[in-house]
Amino acid sequence: MELAERMSRLGTESAFDVFAKAQRLEAQGRSIIHLEIGQPDFPTPFPICEAAFRAMKDGYTGYTPAAGLLALREAIAEHISTTRNVEIHPDEVVVTPGAKPIIFFTLMALVNEGDEVIYPDPGFPIYQSVINFVGAQGIPLPLREEVGFRFHLDDLINAISARTRLLILNSPQNPTGGLLQAEDLAAIAELADRHNFYVLSDEIYSRILYEGKHISLIQFPGMKARTILLDGYSKTYAMTGWRLGYGVIPKHLVEGIVRLMINCNSCTCAFTQMAGIEALRGSQDFVNQMVAEFKHRRDTIVDGLNAIEGIHCLKPAGAFYVFPNVKDLPLSCNELADYFLNEAGVSLLAGTAFGKFGDGYLRISYANSLENLQVAIDRMRAAVMKL
């Protein structure tokens, strides 16, 4: 049985493949430290779990409106209004099973075959995969290490054409941890208006920030009508397995996205949505503690990596990834990722998994204990010395 032709245009996220490969080695008795997968290593805070139990007991076990329960959309609208400094109405919110479908639905709903979509490179691989899937032309926007993995304005201007339909942004960023600055966003807002394109602003790591302030494109004048803001619960509340995310969407696009939801998954799990209200309205102590712990780990991993000869690592402002430069080592980043897995039992990703501008880098997720991070650094140092 052959797959339909369109499937040849759909990519994947190699983190899941590498994770499976590392698990196979573990099953053979090898000790592996997992630095490949991007999920907080904390359990979901108990009050959020309790809200889900309560909702189940209260009968939240059926379908909900496709766009999500009104009470949750109200909580999200309030949260975004206060954190992004812009007035959001619950009708502008669509709740999805995880935030990932917002990427898929936005591209399906907005982009025609032959349109151009600018996306960050290195960047989350799902963007490029879905851009290709809908038959659009992906135009990579290089993120440059020398400017803290932001973009050069000239690169953005050169990427824009009369066929540009959408620009995808992600800040704080996966895989680099980089953070866009107010001046970057102001330039984008001006260009989006002048060239009449939409922006998908992936803000899934907005709360995982150590220095600086999260600024959303949506708060720039006129940008609410052009911005699809993606955010969710997976990272902020350690809820990756719950599948709960959302988009804040220009009013005129909501109907199309909801129609895709109705065709695809009907709605998001009802009791999960109720837990999402508790997450936003309850105590935020968990988030603050988790971010403080991540910051400590970030400092440890950055210092540890920079002490290894041939590795240079910036200290990123957000997310829970570092993107060390390994161009001075004698192996390619793909060979190095295999080498660290097989020789050192450290599972991480080659930068090329995130696009061609990721060549010469590795992506390390430090969502793992300090002790494990320390062991990983020691093992990597020993492995590099053998090269």
Site for ligand PMP in 184-243 (CB under 6 A): 202, 204, 232, 234, 240
Nearer to ligand PMP, 170 or 216 (CB): 170
Residue 99 found at the interface with ligand PMP (CB under 6 A) = yes
Both tokens assigned to 275:
């837990």
Under the binding rule (CB under 6 A), the answer on residue 352 touching ligand PMP is no
Which is nearer to ligand PMP, 40 or 360 (by Cβ)? 40
Cα 135 to Cα 162: distance, rounded to the nearest angstrom: 17
Q: Are 359 and 352 in contact (CB under 8 A)?
A: yes
Min separation Cβ 241 and ligand PMP, Å: 9
- Closest separation between CB of residue 385 and ligand PMP, Å? 33
* Shortest distance in whole angstroms from residue 125 CB to ligand PMP: 10
Instruction: For ligand PMP, give the closer residue by CB, 174 or 268.
Output: 174
Beta strands at 346-347 and 349-350: parallel, antiparallel or unpaired: unpaired
Distance of CA 215 to the CA centre of its chain: 16
User: Which CB atom, from 219 or from 240, has the smaller least distance to ligand PMP?
Assistant: 240
Nearer to ligand PMP, 232 or 360 (CB): 232
Buried b (16+ CB within 10 A) or exposed e, 247-276: bbbbeebbeebbebbeeeeebbbbbbbbbb
Main-chain phi, psi angles of 98, to 5 degrees: 80, 165
Interface with ligand PMP, residue 36, by CB under 6 A: no
For 134-250, where are the alpha helices, taking DSSP H only?
A: 153-159, 182-195
Task: Indicate the residue among 268 and 308 with the shorter CB distance to ligand PMP.
Answer: 268
For the chain, where are the alpha helices, taking DSSP H only? 14-27, 46-57, 70-84, 100-110, 125-133, 153-159, 182-195, 251-264, 270-281, 285-306, 333-344, 370-385
Minimum CB separation from ligand PMP for residue 126, in Å?
7
Half-sphere CA count of 26, side-chain side, radius 13 A: 11
CB-based contact 231:200 (threshold 8 Å): no
Token pair in block for residue 155: 């690169």
Single out the segment in contact with ligand PMP by CB under 6 A; choices: 24-32, 60-68, 96-104, 271-279. Answer: 96-104
With CA atoms as reference, report the closest residue to 247 among 200, 299, 181, 286.
Answer: 200
* Minimum separation from the CB atom of position 163 to ligand PMP (A): 25
321-322 vs 245-248, strand pairing mode? unpaired
> Of 32, 38, 272, 318, which lies in the binding site for ligand PMP, with binding defined by CB under 6 A?
38
**98 touches ligand PMP (CB under 6 A):** yes
- Residue among 158, 154, 202, 157 at smallest CA distance from 180: 202
Nearer Cβ to ligand PMP, position 60 or 321?
A: 321
CB 93, min distance to ligand PMP, A: 15
**Residue facing ligand PMP at closest CB distance:** 98
The minimum distance between CB 99 and ligand PMP, in angstroms, equals 3
Quick check: 124 binds ligand PMP (CB under 6 A)?
Answer: yes
- Give min distance, CB of 70 to ligand PMP, in A: 21
Q: Which positions from 147 to 186 touch ligand PMP by CB under 6 A, shown as an x/- string?
A: -----------------------x---x------------
Angstrom CA distances, 341 to 26, 30, 111, 338, stand at 11, 10, 39, 5
Of 45, 172, 245, 355, which lies in the binding site for ligand PMP, with binding defined by CB under 6 A?
245
For the bound state, the minimum distance from the C-beta of residue 347 to ligand PMP, rounded and expressed in Å, comes to 16
What is d(CA 180, CA 151) in angstroms, rounded to the nearest whole number?
8
**By C-beta, is 72 or 380 nearer to ligand PMP?**
72
Q: Residue 247 interacts with ligand PMP (CB under 6 A)?
A: no
Binding residues vs ligand PMP (CB under 6 A): 38, 98-100, 124, 170, 174, 202, 204, 232, 234, 240, 245
